[in-house]
Amino acid sequence: MENKPLKLFKKSDIIIILIFILLAGAALIPKYAKSESLTAVVTANGKEYTEISFSELNEDKYITVNGVTIKASKEGVCFEDSSCRDKICVNTGIINSPGEAAVCVPMNVAVYIKGGGSSSRNDDVDAVVY
Ligand SMILES: [Zn+2]
């Protein structure tokens, strides 16, 4: 008998494992792509002023509202300049992770990062510490 069922089984096992790895990889990729597509939400006077999608950002973008200049780049968003006196907002620096926020209390301007997914917890701006 030349039958070698064990060897055959091993071969198909490897194929199954490879398919499984490929499927697992394919399932993970969209998740990573999602986390890449972040949105910066700018609010002024407690209302949403504008949204900047990082994936659509080809060059630096500046938003001016209430005497505050917000810069959006591939690295994230930051308060570039503000006419407030404390400059806490400018000193916050670049924010680029979902849930992160920078606020200028005197000028009533805030910017926060929203994840690309439909996660509702990021809609909550309770993360603001200032
Ligand atoms: Zn400020």
Q: Do 49 and 32 share a structural domain?
A: no
For residue 54, what are the domain limits?
A: 38-116
pTM over 0.85: no
Q: Do 49 and 28 share a structural domain?
A: no
What's the gap in Å between 13 CA and the centre of ligand 1? 61
Nearest-CA neighbor of 92 among 50, 83, 82? Answer: 82
Q: Do 25 and 48 share a structural domain?
A: no
What's the gap in Å between 76 CA and the centre of ligand 1? 18
What's the gap in Å between 40 CA and the centre of ligand 1? 18
In the chain, the percentage of residues whose pLDDT exceeds 90 is 55
What's the gap in Å between 62 CA and the centre of ligand 1? 16
What's the gap in Å between 87 CA and the centre of ligand 1? 4
Q: Is residue 87 part of a domain?
A: yes
What's the pLDDT score for residue 28? Answer: 73
pLDDT in tens, 50-88: 999 988 888 999 999 999 999 999 899 999 999 999 999
What's the pLDDT score for residue 124? Answer: 45
What's the gap in Å between 105 CA and the centre of ligand 1? 6
Q: How far apart are the C-alpha atoms of 110 and 130, rounded to whole Å?
A: 11
Residue 41 has pLDDT above 90, yes or no: yes
